[in-house]
Amino acid sequence: MPQPVIPQPVTEGWQWNLPAGFPPPPVPTDNPMSAVKVELGRRLFHDPRLSGNGTLSCASCHRPEWAFTDGRAGAIGSTDEVHPRSAMSLANVAYNATLTWADETVVTLEQQAHIPLLNEDPVEMGVTGSEEPVLTRIRNDPDYRRLFRESFSKTADPAVVDLDRITRALAAFQRTLISGRSPYDDYLFYDNPESLTDKARRGMRLFFSPRLRCSECHEGLTFSGPVRTGEDASQVEPVFHNTGLYNVDGRGGYPKRDRGLLDRTGNPADMGRFRAPTLRNIAVTAPYMHDGSIPTLAAVLDHYAAGGRRIDEGPNAGDGSRNPLKAAQLTGFTLSEAERDDVIAFLGSLTDERFLNDPRFLDPFAEP
């Protein structure tokens, strides 16, 4: 399927406050950035009135202090249905080449926002069938009425409050969730050689080495592979990987509940392929993998060192290291305990405390 072209950044006076090394992210021409629209999006993001039953906000599954994840293996929707996938971090989401775990067609934040709002299998925000009650709650709030009018003041009818404008405001807010002031960044871009410990420096060398090959999938400014920027937004194709997490049938099979990109394309070669998540703030986003099935960073490194995960019993038993569909990078490697600690120290240096505690991203409804 052809990818939609994402135009150059449109800001209408908006000033990006970007970390060193970060270009402006792409912004669609029909959804220009503005401070009031970002504030509208922040309120909507934290407001449980946006769910069908009024119990769940976007922030329920994407908590700022955990780099906009939720600490669960599977996210829990408004009706308590457990999602088969974990909530992805939203750090630097504006740059992602694709915006879900395994769908190459979802490439703008405006597109993506419709999914959790309207999804029915599984139910997430649960808006489908409750569109009017949800919109009535928002329309009845005088602060929202003002923010919508100001956010869409250059449109034919700025007073309209609908799902399309809600998703545009959510997208504008999420474009501001930029994380780039970790100790690693201070070391690399801000002339602060003391920001990395000796352990983290050793781990950094291992991370980028041909021996471990971590950076071949977790590359670029987001540590998640190809990125889209304002300069080349339409030129980047999403990349997906099979990491040998499962091999339930000896032929590379993944559990039927979630088989990755295959479930969308029907292509057998796409079995078990998912996008690489960002490693920025990875130390605070456990558990790991698309289904949260690996609890710690140490266990993640053991998985990759083995060239795939072996499960000895149960419905998902199989040797992932023998998965014939796994990515070529997963050849395995030997890592001493000290080296493993070094790599973990480097991954910890990607934690951006400024980002996790930035008041611009926090709940505007919280008590002061």
- pLDDT at residue number 237: 87
Q: How far apart are the first and last CA of the chain?
A: 48
Q: Where are the domains of the chain?
A: 35-179, 183-353
Q: Is 269 exposed, middle or buried (CB count within 10 Å of its CB: 0-12, 13-18, 19+)?
A: exposed
State percent of the chain over pLDDT 70.
Answer: 95
Please tell me whether residue 285 adopts helix, strand or coil conformation: coil
pLDDT beyond 80 at 150: yes
Is there a shared CATH topology between the 35-179 domain and the 183-353 domain? yes
Structure pTM?
A: 0.94
Handedness of CA 228, 69, 216, 267 (dihedral sign): negative
- pLDDT at residue number 112: 97
Q: Which CATH architecture has domain 183-353?
A: Orthogonal Bundle (1.10)
Which region among 82-91, 177-186, 221-230, 243-252 has the lowest average model confidence (pLDDT)? 221-230
- pLDDT at residue number 12: 58
Residue 232: pLDDT band with limits 50, 70, 90:
low
Please tell me whether residue 316 adopts helix, strand or coil conformation: coil
Q: Which CATH architecture has domain 35-179?
A: Orthogonal Bundle (1.10)
Which alpha helices (DSSP H) does 82-123 contain, by range? 109-118
State percent of the chain over pLDDT 90.
Answer: 92
Contact 276, 213 (CB under 8 A): no
pLDDT beyond 70 at 2: no
Residue 168: pLDDT band with limits 50, 70, 90:
very high
Place of tokens 């540590």: 223
- pLDDT at residue number 144: 98
pLDDT beyond 70 at 319: yes
Which alpha helices (DSSP H) does 152-259 contain, by range? 163-175, 183-189, 198-207
Contact 38, 172 (CB under 8 A): yes
Number of C-beta neighbours around residue 154 at 10 A: 9
CA distances from 213 to 14, 52, 207, 216, 219 (A): 39, 44, 7, 6, 10
Which alpha helices (DSSP H) does 208-259 contain, by range? none
Q: Which amino acid is at 342?
A: D
Q: Which of 105, 129, 117 is nearest to 61 (CA)?
A: 117
CA distances from 137 to 44, 134, 142, 176 (A): 11, 5, 10, 26
Q: What is the pLDDT of residues 235-282, one digit of tens each?
A: 788 999 999 999 999 999 999 999 999 999 999 999 999 999 999 999
Which residues have C-beta within 8 Å of that of residue 317, sequence separation ≥ 6?
Answer: 248, 311
